[in-house]
Structures are given as C-alpha cells and as structure tokens.
Amino acid sequence: MPDPAPSASRQEQKERTRQSILSSALELSLKQGFAQVSLRQVSRHAGIVPTAFYRHFESMDQLGLALVEESFSTLRQMVRDAQRDPEVFENIIDAAADVLVETVKQRKTHFGFVSRERMGGPDVVRTAIRHELDLFVSELAVVLARLPNIEDWSSDDVQMVSRLFVRNMVTNAEEVVEMPDGRPDLEERIKEGARRQMRLIVVGFKDWRS
C-alpha cells in the first residue's frame, strides 16, 4: 500500500503557503490599504515568487475576496454559538457586548481590514463586505426573532432591527480596532457604550407594531 505521507505533506505545505499569502496581504494592507498592495509585494513578503502566487489565487481581487471570507468567518461562528448557548441568549445584551469585544481583540487584523476596506477598498472587496454584512443581518435576525415582544413582528421589521444591531456592532468593532493595547478602561467604556446602545434599541420593542 502506498505511503500517503508525501501527499499529505504537500497539502500541508500548500495550505501554509496560502496562509502566508493571506497574512502578508493583511499586514501590507494595514500600512497602505489593500487597493495599493501589489501582487509582487505580497509575493515578496510571503517569501515566494510571483508565479507561485497563481497556484493559490487567480488575481489580487480573488485574494481580497478570500480575506473578506476569512474575516467574517469568526462573526458567523459567533452568531451560531449564541444560538446554541442558553446563557448567552438569556443575557443577550451583556453577553453580546463582551463577546464582540473579545472576538475583535482576537482578530484585530481581520476586523481592521473590514473597517478600512468597506469604504475605501476596491469595488469587488467593498461589494463582498456589504454582502457579508447582509448575510450577518439575516443570521442575527433568526436569533432576534426569539426575543420577547418581537415574536409577532413581520420579517421585514425583524430584519430592520437586526440591521440596527449590526450597525451598532460595526461601529463598536471599529472602536476596538483603534483601541491601544493594555487599556482596560477604554475596553470597558466601549462595552458599556455598546450595552447602552443595544438597550436603547430594545426599549422600543414593546411598543412597536408591524
């Protein structure tokens, strides 16, 4: 029976190179924005020749789309975990503020990428970010539809309030991205601001009629 190890090793090396390209593009885009980063710069930073880049991505646009996908994967997992965890659901406002800040701190480069590129990136990247935010609104709406006083709302209204929460989330995430390391005072201020903003949205639930 042939030894599968060489094939597995090649696949691992390919994945490492792919991740190196993604990490290099993220790091370079921190300094100058993704639109200004060239394929040659990414290849040089990743320690590969430009022709090797094309074994992983067809173009810089495709690389940008992969970065968007990678950046939003954490957010999607965050919503799915919230649906499965009764404690998070019962204390959704306090838990959401804590989870958001911790998630952004762990993936600062990815959230920084989204923050910069959603307004100033290439068209294909901006469009992909808008699409991912719309998907996130839809996934969050499924969670919110289970909250008290909202069960009988129309789907359009649930989507509307979900979009308000997502806009709040994006604003607070951007504040966390800009927050210097080692500033628990600023971190707590962001969390408390997020809680107050979400409570303000929720106050209107009881009296709203679709």
Q: Domains of the chain, with CATH numbers?
A: 1-57 (1.10.10.60), 59-203 (1.10.357.10)
Q: What local confidence, expressed as pLDDT, does residue 10 receive?
A: 82
What is the residue whose two structure tokens read 């989507």? 159
pLDDT above 70 covers what percent of the chain?
90
pTM for the structure as a whole: 0.82
Residue 51 has pLDDT above 90, yes or no: yes
Q: What local confidence, expressed as pLDDT, does residue 156 receive?
A: 94
Q: What local confidence, expressed as pLDDT, does residue 74 receive?
A: 73
Q: Which whole number is the average pLDDT over 7-28?
A: 89
Which of 99, 101, 104 shows the shortest CA–CA distance to 85?
99
Between 148 and 184, the higher pLDDT residue: 184
Between 139 and 66, the higher pLDDT residue: 66
CA angle at 58 for the pair 55 and 64, rounded to the nearest 5°:
115
Do residues 16 and 27 make contact, with C-beta atoms less than 8 angstroms apart?
Answer: no
Between 7 and 21, the higher pLDDT residue: 21
